[in-house]
Amino acid sequence: MKKTVRSVMTVLLLVIVWICPVRAENVPTKITSETMKYAGEADSVVFSGKVHVQRETFELWSNMLTVDLAPSPDTGKASADAGTPGQGDIRKITASGAVRILSQGKEGFCGKAVYFADSGMVRMEQDPVLKDGPNEIRGEVIKLYMRENRSEVVGGKKRVEAVFYTPAEKSEVP
Looking at residue 25, what is its pLDDT?
Answer: 66
What's the confidence (pLDDT) of residue 172?
Answer: 57
The angle at the Cα of 35, spanning 31 to 39, to the nearest 5 degrees, equals 95
pLDDT by residue, tens only, the chain of 174 residues: 444 333 333 333 333 333 444 444 678 889 999 999 988 777 889 999 999 999 887 899 999 999 998 876 655 554 444 444 444 478 999 999 999 988 877 899 999 999 998 888 889 999 999 998 999 999 999 988 878 877 899 998 889 999 999 888 776 555
What integer pLDDT is reported at residue 51 of this predicted model? 97
Query: In terms of DSSP H, where are the helices of the chain?
Result: 2-19
User: What is the domain partition of the chain in residue ranges?
Assistant: 2-22+29-168
Q: Which amino acid is at 53?
A: V
Domain covering 2-22+29-168 in this structure, CATH number: 2.60.450.10
pLDDT of residue 75: 53
Candidates 96, 137, 130; CA nearest to 113 is: 96
Query: Which residues touch 1 (CB under 8 Å, ≥6 apart)?
Result: none
pTM, entire model: 0.72
